[in-house]
Structure 1
Amino acid sequence: MRPVLASLSVIAAALTLAACETTTAPVVETPAVAASPSVDYAQLMEDLRILSADDMQGRDTGSEGGAKARAYIVGRLEALGVQPSPMGRLQPWEMQGRTREGTKTFSGTNIIGVIPGTRVGDKYIVVTAHYDHVGVNDGQIFNGADDNASGVATMLELAKRLKANPPEHSVLIVALDGEERGLLGAKHFVEAPPVPLHAIAMNLNFDMTARADSDGKLWVTGTYQHPYFRPVLDQVAARPNVALAFGKDTPQDEGADNWVEASDHAAFHRAGLPFLYFGVNYHPDYHRPSDHFEKINPAVFQDSTELAIAGFRALDRWLDQ
């Protein structure tokens, strides 16, 4: 998510978009309240743990670790019974991206699944989360637990719920590659989509859904561009540890605090498609080797995931009414 801050020289040149620094926000002093005890979050937490483990080697695009993460996600989708898209499960691509040495050609692969809708089968909500991170730099593994193993785990949890309780719109579940190298996988997806662009109702992008500890908020970016989404999401009730917050998308949110171009949703926005981006604010471990699984508060992450799923359900019900 969001290109690395300038102070992190080992990976800054690998990124192509401007990033934002943590905004001033009240610190949540109260301990996290356990999320819905009736819900089994074991798989959610296991997905996060596995994708951010050292043996994934930071999941850089084109690396062995990236291939291992891809194989894991494919296995999870197949275990859930999520069918491949009309073009297949994998969408390979080659594109120019940036490294600290300059530009190079990256070979990446998007992962695509489809869940048919019950009411509007010919319109698709594209749910995205990038599975790549920045790899190994100066001998240190950048595990990227929050960025973005968390968003992928949230997306897989949503896929599990949609298989049990099908959506009204058809859904494309898309794990994108190459986000950290310049939104490469997202750019390729909109250039060569598995369904016509006019059949895409919107993009819902999950990028960093775990570490809401600093302000207790899961931020929603895109309601300034698409204000009709705001009343729909205003109905989503807050969780014990996390609530939805709206912003980081206005002309007043300049430079570092504007997230409209900050992650894969930007490629959909540039293609003229409606989008919303769900993500937490910056934290001290962002784009550092210390972004570990152990730093994540399970109750906070689980609440963020519940909010993301509730947001999807509200949008799914509202669209095409």
Structure 2
Amino acid sequence: MMFRTLGAVAALMLAAQSASAQTASPETLRAAVAAYVLPTNEARTQVVVEQLRAAGFEPVVETFEGGGRQTGPMEGRNVVAVFGPEGAKEILITAHYDAAKLRDGSLAHGVVDNAASVVGVIEAARLLKDKALNHRVRVILFDQEELGLVGARMWIEAHGIANVAAVVNSDVAAYGDTMMYGQNSGAPSAFVTRAVQELCAERAMQCVGFPIYPPSDDRAFTAAGAPVVSLGFQDEVGAHQMWLAFNGGENNGLAEGFTPQVFRVIHSAEDTMEAVEPATVARAAETYAALIEKLDREIAAR
């Protein structure tokens, strides 16, 4: 009952600010992220639904038969909301809401990976929903990313990508002021990457592009041929250390056996609210909203 009450309180706080075009307060964003600290992924699904409703959307839960080798068949639940005008093409903004299982069988708190991103995506959608856009925007909060991008793959299998103009995915956006973005999604994604780079310059943001970027749900869209970028946030030093770990080769300058701090946090008992910075969640939401607006204009001008 306590977990359910905390989730409801966070949704009420979001609802109180849903009519405002301003970014939600740090207290509201922190409570929204903390609401995901629950013992099951099924319970996290309900928090996604409540927060989308509080932000003024009418979410739909799309179930699928998922699971993996370790779990066996297991029902999954993607949560979807749409806004903007109907048309032949739409822009997707995505994040996964499921948390990883720990070795003892319990669920990680999963706030760095990935509740903070989910809250940032919902907040970005709230900031955008009353704007005069050229394209429909589809918010998809995926389940079972931690089992191998299952939710994203199943959504693509069910809906295809024929009407997908671009995808903006968020993963691990909980702290720091440096935005990381993947550059490894192929030629179809070049215009999305360019839009990210232009936005970083326009907003004077600290950004780091990764020729090789850690996998997230963007990989499912890359494999399907959709234009996509995956985004995350870290402190500047951590972002560059992660860049070196993935892109620096044998002579990357890192100490032997070095693991970037973020990888010591995610998928562990250390993935707790102590690591979350509401200012980063707000920064992510504002950046994602600005990127969607930029892509919306550029796609319409083609």
TM-score (normalised: structure 2): 0.74
Contact 1:223 1:246 in 2 (8 A): no
Specify the SS of the correspondent of 1:138: coil
Distance in 1 (CA, whole Å) between partners of 2:56 and 2:103 is 36
Instruction: String of CA shifts for 1:165-212, please: whole Å, max 9, x gaps.
Output: 24331011111000000111101000001xx52111121111111133
Say yes or no: does 1:209 pair with 2:173: yes
Distance in 2 (CA, whole Å) between partners of 1:170 and 1:78 is 18
Q: Describe the shift of the 1:83–1:218 C-alpha distance in structure 2 as closer, same or farther (beyond 3 A).
A: same
Query: 1:319 — aligned with what?
Result: 299
Q: Describe the shift of the 1:169–1:91 C-alpha distance in structure 2 as closer, same or farther (beyond 3 A).
A: same
TM-score (normalised: structure 1): 0.70
Residue 244 of structure 1: how far off its partner (Å): 2.6
What aligned pairs does 1:25-64 form with structure 2 within 5 A after superposition? 39-41=23-25, 42-51=27-36, 53=37, 56-57=38-39
> Match for 1:200 among 164, 169, 188?
164
Query: 1:108 — aligned with what?
Result: 76
Query: 2:182 — aligned with what?
Result: 221
What aligned pairs does 1:236-251 form with structure 2 within 5 A after superposition? 236-237=199-200, 243-249=206-212
Query: 1:10 — aligned with what?
Result: none
Distance in 2 (CA, whole Å) between partners of 1:159 and 1:206 is 13
Q: Describe the shift of the 1:229–1:239 C-alpha distance in structure 2 as closer, same or farther (beyond 3 A).
A: closer
Contact 2:99 2:107 in 1 (8 A): no
Say yes or no: does 1:290 pair with 2:270: yes
**Which sits farther off after the overlay, 263-272 or 178-187?**
263-272
Letter in 2 for 1:47: A
Query: 2:89 — aligned with what?
Result: 123
Query: 2:257 — aligned with what?
Result: none
Specify the SS of the correspondent of 1:149: helix
Query: 1:231 — aligned with what?
Result: 194
Letter in 2 for 1:92: T
Structure 2 residues without counterparts, runs of 5 or longer: 1-21, 234-238, 240-259
Query: 1:171 — aligned with what?
Result: 137
Contact 1:242 1:300 in 2 (8 A): no
Distance in 2 (CA, whole Å) between partners of 1:139 and 1:271 is 33
- Note the aligned Cα RMSD (angstroms): 2.5
4+ aligned runs moved over 3 Å, structure 1? 237-242
Residue 140 of structure 1: how far off its partner (Å): 5.2
Distance in 1 (CA, whole Å) between partners of 2:32 and 2:211 is 29
Distance in 2 (CA, whole Å) between partners of 1:320 and 1:166 is 13
Letter in 1 for 2:117: G
> Match for 1:83 among 54, 58, 63?
58
Contact 2:24 2:282 in 1 (8 A): no
Query: 1:97 — aligned with what?
Result: 68
Residue 303 of structure 1: how far off its partner (Å): 2.3
Where relative contact order (Cα < 8 A, 6+ residues apart) is larger, the structure is 1
Structure 1 residues without counterparts, runs of 5 or longer: 1-37, 58-64, 250-257
Q: Describe the shift of the 1:98–1:243 C-alpha distance in structure 2 as closer, same or farther (beyond 3 A).
A: farther
Q: Describe the shift of the 1:224–1:265 C-alpha distance in structure 2 as closer, same or farther (beyond 3 A).
A: closer
**Which sits farther off after the overlay, 70-79 or 271-280?**
70-79
**Which sits farther off after the overlay, 220-229 or 282-291?**
220-229
Contact 2:165 2:226 in 1 (8 A): yes
Paired-residue identity, %? 26
